[in-house]
Structure 1
């Protein structure tokens, strides 16, 4: 599967009306590793975006999780094709114990190019299992290089250190990079975006105090498949590196 970028346009907890209280971005690599970060919006004009170097408090986080996903094509009783998608959690902002945790939803293509996800999960506002709808849009991936032969990049770096109870994942797809890292009870995340040749890469969101290799992921020419990025006692391995 080609790497993808997905932006959530709204969520609806049936029978309530649709709304979008977050900035939600999902990056998925060609080997189906994903990072899903959902930042609660604020009431300020700058919305959720942090100034360069700023750190947002973790109470501004709705949810962030990462792992692997899979999909299978199915057909409804009236013959319409849809995908049953499952997201297996490997690290999460909500819990240390992610073993066996997964989400499942049915993905229905829409005439306007969007995808409507339907399913049932716990509504965090009520604590009750509730039918939901989420509308997703996949913006085009972009190359950050100039020229007619510029290629889009996909990078994945992974940290797995059971001795220090540390799990982390950094995924870059085209013009976006996201990272999540849990060490024991503590959690950190980052989101970066390419702003164009003049402005370069900008860190849009950061929460928590841990370093993670989002910056190195923007410099794919310095990485190699199977290579490592070390910081302190932690070693991040390059598990995916490719162009599309």
Structure 2
């Protein structure tokens, strides 16, 4: 029910398997990865991104407390001495990504529901034949009720955020929620994905068909993808009851992949078969050098039930952090047509729901990080675990 890089590898002639190796060559040969993870370099200080006072987060532990307390959400603006501290790695050269290992940006075009289990001999994929072919007499149109974006890194760490579109026509032209509106969060989750090539039987009834016709109607280059949810807005941090998220990926066009799976859908209150159409989006360079960047940051503080992920791919950046069951998400987009003259000013936050801090803005300054760099906000650390550059 998700995406994959998009394992959207399914749109390629030869789908990559999870064992495909990443090949990266550092821009500078001095210093190993362990050197890059060193924290002996000086601190670089930057302020948190400007936020509305009603949604700013304080996650501080009182300095006179001997015990580690839970982070607290505050409706007050942080004090003037609240800073994000970035400890850069000794070697902040960005590894160069070889062709074929690029990260992925995917937007969902629609989701279509079918019965589960499917009636015998139901042809799958089903939704791509609508409205001309509809033997189950289901709705004749595919719909997309959300704004859904998935960002996946070369090592297949992903963040998937799904925001409900406005519920009424009177609000149809309003932007996505940027302060509050928690009811607009349909689902947000992140983790790691994998895929493997599979062969499926020819769809629909086979009686009376020649072997040649069966082969002609069979799909090729299908992959089976699995997404492990390390963090999920529908489950408390560390929950052992998150169901398996998996689906079969059908290559429809060069930039389109149809995911077929089944799951319990809270909005419907039932398990349904679903078909989701995903469109790959080209990655855009945001700097003067014309290079594209990918950054992954992770926060893990299990003693207080906190997990977080931030993934930036090119012109998009998304983050999710959870404190037990409380969820905060952000989505940022770089707008090359913005009148501002600097790269930083062209980044615009398009979604924010929740009250916690997310270091998305740090990912806009990849040149000061390096693998293993640490971003600190009060008691919590975000570690740069992936950093890539490519043309």
Partner of 1:117: 259
Are 1:152 and 2:306 an aligned pair?
no
**CA displacement at 1:223 relative to structure 2:** 1.1
Secondary structure at the residue paired with 2:253? coil
Are 1:105 and 2:255 an aligned pair?
no
Structure 1 runs not aligned, ≥5 long: none
**CA displacement at 1:74 relative to structure 2:** 1.2
Aligned runs of 1:110-189 on 2, under 5 Å?
110-111=252-253, 113-147=255-289, 150-189=290-329
TM-score scaled by structure 2?
A: 0.59
Are the counterparts in 1 of residues 299 and 381 from structure 2 also a CA contact under 8 Å? yes
Structure with the greater alpha carbon radius of gyration? 2
Task: Select 2:367's aligned residue among 221, 226, 229.
Answer: 221
Are the counterparts in 2 of residues 90 and 98 from structure 1 also a CA contact under 8 Å? no
Are the counterparts in 1 of residues 233 and 325 from structure 2 also a CA contact under 8 Å? no
Secondary structure at the residue paired with 1:211? coil
Q: Which moved more, 1:60-69 or 1:104-113?
A: 104-113
Secondary structure at the residue paired with 1:198? coil
**CA displacement at 1:145 relative to structure 2:** 1.2
| Structure with bigger RCO (C-alpha 8 Å, 6+ apart) | 2
Partner of 1:24: 148
Partner of 2:62: none
TM-score scaled by structure 1?
A: 0.93
CA distance in structure 2 between the partners assigned to 1:225 and 1:173 by the alignment: 16
CA distance in structure 1 between the partners assigned to 2:240 and 2:175 by the alignment: 31
| Structure 1 residue ranges (4+ consecutive) displaced by more than 6 angstroms after TM superposition | none
What are the Cα deviations for residues 109-128 of structure 1, in whole angstroms up to 9, with x where unaligned? 11363111111111222221
Partner of 2:350: 204
CA distance in structure 1 between the partners assigned to 2:159 and 2:366 by the alignment: 19
Secondary structure at the residue paired with 1:236? strand
CA distance in structure 2 between the partners assigned to 1:45 and 1:239 by the alignment: 39
Are the counterparts in 2 of residues 13 and 123 from structure 1 also a CA contact under 8 Å? no
Q: CA RMSD in A?
A: 1.6
Secondary structure at the residue paired with 1:205? strand
Are 1:80 and 2:220 an aligned pair?
yes
Are 1:7 and 2:107 an aligned pair?
yes
**CA displacement at 1:138 relative to structure 2:** 0.6
**CA displacement at 1:211 relative to structure 2:** 0.5
Q: Specify which structure has the higher proportion of strand.
A: 1
**CA displacement at 1:58 relative to structure 2:** 1.0
Are 1:71 and 2:195 an aligned pair?
yes
Q: Which moved more, 1:150-159 or 1:195-204?
A: 195-204
Structure 2 runs not aligned, ≥5 long: 1-100, 115-137, 202-217, 341-345
CA distance in structure 1 between the partners assigned to 2:266 and 2:191 by the alignment: 21
**CA displacement at 1:139 relative to structure 2:** 1.0
**CA displacement at 1:76 relative to structure 2:** 2.2
CA distance in structure 1 between the partners assigned to 2:164 and 2:312 by the alignment: 22
Are the counterparts in 2 of residues 40 and 48 from structure 1 also a CA contact under 8 Å? no
Q: Give the 3 Å change call, closer, same or farther, for CA 79–139 of structure 1 in structure 2.
A: closer
CA distance in structure 2 between the partners assigned to 1:63 and 1:239 by the alignment: 24
**CA displacement at 1:144 relative to structure 2:** 0.1
